[in-house]
Amino acid sequence: MKNKTKNQCGRRGERIFSNVCIMPSLIGVLVFFIVPFCIVIYYSLINNPVLKEFVGLENYTKLFHNVAFTKAVKNTAFFSLVAVPLSVILSLGLAMLLERKIPGKSIFRTFFLSPLMVPTASVVLVWQVLFHNHGTINQIIEKFGGHGIDWIKSPYGQVIIICMFLWKNLGYNMILFMSALCAIPRDIIEVADLEGASSLYKFVHIKLRYLSPTILFVLILSMINSFKIFREVYLLTGNYPQDKLYMLQHFMNNTFNSLDYQKLSAAAVLFALVMIVVMAILLIAENIFGKDVEN
């Protein structure tokens, strides 16, 4: 790695070319995201778009006292904190199972990736059929003498959303892990085998170490996708779902529709701040673990 930086100190013109390459994207991002986001920050600090009086952090304190907002934050945080680690663990588990000698591996791979093909709206329709009050799951339960419940409106609603999320994303993450598992040098495992290392030791001290960059990568991807699950929730339940499914995105969508830009801007800024902190932590962790593997 160190040699690389030394060698890359090329001629000045070459360095300028690489900077120029970034320009179109940078301009686009500035125009469409960064500059308008600065306006959003400004919006979050004034009282209303007409008077434009500076009110400091008033919009933020109001937000913290807003019941809908705190509920939405709680639900979103819960969902992400459960679904993201679960998707990492389960996809790693699946990848390790598929590492064994199993016939038809590539067919399974296709099956696991198939959720990417289906249009979101069709998936939502199928899930509705399954979990509706008079739907398939309840009919099966009733056949065995149990009592069905309206799943999506019940406290289990969140579990269903988490399942939907896992269903959609496990396949992709699994392939990431499968390739990472293949990249672990065979000789290290063989040496460990010869020395009589237990499979738990091999997993924790060898595999996890080599997998750590991939784990972080999957973590980041899962986080992005966990925010995208709103699409499914929205199609399943509309603008005002039951309490447990009311996400931050619902809150923002609804405040947007009611034209309360001050509240919305403050929420957007807060969200961005939290993400900056989370990503900084993740990237620092990647640096530490990444170096660990190289040595």
Partner 1 sequence: MGLRLPIPDKKRRGKMFDIIVLIFILLVAVLFLFPTVVTIANSFMTSNEITANYGAMFSNMTEKQKTFISSNVNLKLIPDKVTFDQYKAVLIQNSDYLIKFWNSVILTVPITVFQMLVAILTSYGFSRYPNKFKGIIFFAYIILMIMPYQVTLVPNFLVADKFGMLETRKAIILPAIFSPFSIFLLTKVMRRIPISYVEAAKLDGAGEFKILTKIYVPLCKGAIASIAMLVFIDYWNMVEQPLVLMKESTYHPLSVFLSQINTGDIGLAFAVGTVYMIPTILMFLYGEDYLVEGITYSGGIKG
**Which residues inside 130-159 make contact with partner 1, applying CB under 8 A?**
130, 132, 134-136, 139
Q: Which stretch binds partner 1 (CB under 8 A): 53-61, 149-157, 200-208, 214-222?
A: 214-222
Q: Which of residues 51-110 bind partner 1 (CB under 8 A)?
A: 94, 97-98, 100-103, 108-110
**Secondary structure tally for the chain: helices H, strands E:** 15, 0
Total binding residues for partner 1 by CB under 8 A? Answer: 106
188 burial via Cβ count (<10 Å: 0-12, 13-18, 19+): middle
DSSP state of 8: T
Spell 72-84 as b/e; 16+ CB within 10 A means b: bbebbeebbeebb
Residue number, 166 or 244, with CB nearest to partner 1: 166
Which helix (H) or strand (E) is 12 found in, with range? helix 12-29
User: Interface with partner 1 includes 32 (CB under 8 A)?
Assistant: yes
Residue 54, beta-bridge partner list: 46
218 touches 166 (CB < 8 A): no
Q: Which of residues 235-294 bind partner 1 (CB under 8 A)?
A: 235, 248-249, 252-253, 256, 261, 264-265, 268, 271-272, 275-276, 279-280, 283, 290, 293-294
Among 58, 228, 242, 285, binds partner 1 (CB under 8 A): 228
Q: Smallest gap, in angstroms, from Cβ of residue 50 to partner 1? A: 16
Q: Smallest gap, in angstroms, from Cβ of residue 267 to partner 1? A: 8
Q: Smallest gap, in angstroms, from Cβ of residue 192 to partner 1? A: 15
47 touches 262 (CB < 8 A): yes
Structure-token pair, residue 84: 């993201």
User: Interface with partner 1 includes 50 (CB under 8 A)?
Assistant: no
